[in-house]
């Protein structure tokens, strides 16, 4: 990319939000017209995750919209379910500076395909540095809620690096949209708030539980059997968890699945991928602190195969209290990253 040329935020961001709204509408119509056994059928098993019928329903739409975009802009699409090397659109030199678009069309498939809980469509854009492009290069991020058939509204959140986080809430029946404040919790304690150490699937549950208990004991003191002092929300959507944090509903999320599985000797495992946390910029621009479990910057190759462990805190004051605890307890059980 030539020096001193920056991405056209004003052109890229609306395109991302429009694509996400179209995916939301198409998916909602598909869900309302089909039975759950159609949504939840297994289409294929990829390197990153299982692809279900509900995922395949939006893949063609995503590719079609990227093909249209490629008529005026050169970029590379990386998405769950597609070629891990990426799909190139547009001719070299077409449009503004080339970029990489990382997408998770449906983050939270398992909850949505049973019409249980909303999922999210996640998109992030970074200047194209080839295979050297990293999560830390993301300059624009947008995420749109994919609602269950029972929901009446859907939220959308977005951020441009250095420009803060923004949001809207859309009435699905009318299309009317209103601003949505993106304000994380200001609490500097976990007490009487939601805090989750991720434990979605079989494999290492005992290790995760031990880690969670140790963290909560140090953060809150000895267990009080008469009180519910901290609450867990095993929301099977990393993007959704970060949205809950940015919107003030959660205070702390820790996902150490790659470390757990490494300790168990699993060379490859079902864990968070870069596309699952590609919208971390939204939470960070809202004032949340998103790091690795050891307190370092959250970073990874901008790809669809790397495993990512992360720790997210609602605000800096809470992070200052919690980061040393999380780092020490993670090191004690899993060693260094």
Query: Does residue 164 sit in the same domain as residue 206?
Result: no
How many domains does the structure of the chain reveal? 2
Q: Which of 155, 179, 203 is the last residue of a domain?
A: 179
Query: Does residue 227 sit in the same domain as residue 274?
Result: yes
Query: Does residue 229 sit in the same domain as residue 101?
Result: no
Query: Does residue 168 sit in the same domain as residue 312?
Result: no
Q: Which of 148, 179, 210 is the last residue of a domain?
A: 179
Query: Does residue 161 sit in the same domain as residue 204?
Result: no
| CATH number of domain containing 296 | 3.40.190.80
**Domain assignment of residue 184, yes or no:** no
Residue pLDDT, tens place only, 271-308: 999 999 999 999 999 999 999 999 999 999 999 999 99
Q: Which pLDDT score, from 0 to 100, does residue 56 have? A: 67
| Tally of residues, the chain | 337
**Domain assignment of residue 1, yes or no:** no
* Tokens describing residue 57: 């329903």
Query: Does residue 327 sit in the same domain as residue 198?
Result: yes
Query: Does residue 208 sit in the same domain as residue 78?
Result: no
Q: Which of 145, 179, 213 is the last residue of a domain?
A: 179
Query: Does residue 249 sit in the same domain as residue 217?
Result: yes
The parent domain of residue 224 ranges over 193-334
Query: Does residue 169 sit in the same domain as residue 197?
Result: no
**Domain assignment of residue 272, yes or no:** yes
Pair type for strands 153-160 and 140-146? antiparallel
Q: How far apart are CA 14 and CA 11, in angstroms?
A: 6
Residue pLDDT, tens place only, 20-57: 999 999 898 888 776 555 544 454 455 545 555 566 66
| CATH number of domain containing 102 | 3.30.540.10
DSSP state of 197: E
Query: Does residue 226 sit in the same domain as residue 135?
Result: no
pLDDT tens track of the chain, all 337 residues?
333 468 999 999 999 999 999 999 989 888 877 655 554 445 445 554 555 556 666 888 999 999 999 999 999 999 987 899 999 999 999 999 999 999 999 999 889 988 899 999 999 999 999 999 999 999 999 999 999 999 999 999 999 999 999 999 999 999 999 999 999 999 999 999 999 999 988 888 999 999 999 999 999 998 888 888 999 999 999 999 999 999 999 999 999 999 999 999 987 678 999 999 999 999 999 999 999 999 999 999 999 999 999 999 999 999 999 999 999 999 999 998 6
Query: Does residue 70 sit in the same domain as residue 138?
Result: yes
Q: How far apart are CA 216 and CA 313, in angstroms?
A: 14
Phi, psi of 311 (to 5 degrees): -130, 130
């Amino acid at each position: 990319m030539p020096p001193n040329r920056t991405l056209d935020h004003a052109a890229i961001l609306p395109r991302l939000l429009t694509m996400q709204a179209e995916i939301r509408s198409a998916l909602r119509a598909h869900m309302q017209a089909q039975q759950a056994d159609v949504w939840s059928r297994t289409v294929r098993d990829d390197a990153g995750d299982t692809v279900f019928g509900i995922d395949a329903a939006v893949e063609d739409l995503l590719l079609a919209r990227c093909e249209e975009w490629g008529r005026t802009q050169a970029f590379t699409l990386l998405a769950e379910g597609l070629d891990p090397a990426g799909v190139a659109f547009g001719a070299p030199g077409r449009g503004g500076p080339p970029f990489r678009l990382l997408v998770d069309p449906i983050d939270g498939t398992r909850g949505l395909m049973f019409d249980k809980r909303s999922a999210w469509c996640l998109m992030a854009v970074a200047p194209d540095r080839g295979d050297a492009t990293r999560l830390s290069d993301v300059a624009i991020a947008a995420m749109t809620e994919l609602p269950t058939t029972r929901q009446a509204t859907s939220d959308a959140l977005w951020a441009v690096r250095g420009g803060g986080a923004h949001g809207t809430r859309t009435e699905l029946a009318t299309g009317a949209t209103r601003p949505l404040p993106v304000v994380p919790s200001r609490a500097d304690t976990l007490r009487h708030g939601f805090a989750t150490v991720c434990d979605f699937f079989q494999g290492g549950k005992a290790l995760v539980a031990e880690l969670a208990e140790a963290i909560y004991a140090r953060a809150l003191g000895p267990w009080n059997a008469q009180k519910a002092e901290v609450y867990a929300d095993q929301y099977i959507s990393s993007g959704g968890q970060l949205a809950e944090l940015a919107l003030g509903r959660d205070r702390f999320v820790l996902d150490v699945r790659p470390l757990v599985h490494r300790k168990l000797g699993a060379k490859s495992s079902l864990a968070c991928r870069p596309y699952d946390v590609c919208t971390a910029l939204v939470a960070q621009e809202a004032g949340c602190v998103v790091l690795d479990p050891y307190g370092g910057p959250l970073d990874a190759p901008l790809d669809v195969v790397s495993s990512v462990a992360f720790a997210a805190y609602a605000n800096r004051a809470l992070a200052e209290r919690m980061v040393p605890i999380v780092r020490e307890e993670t090191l004690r059980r899993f060693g260094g990253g």
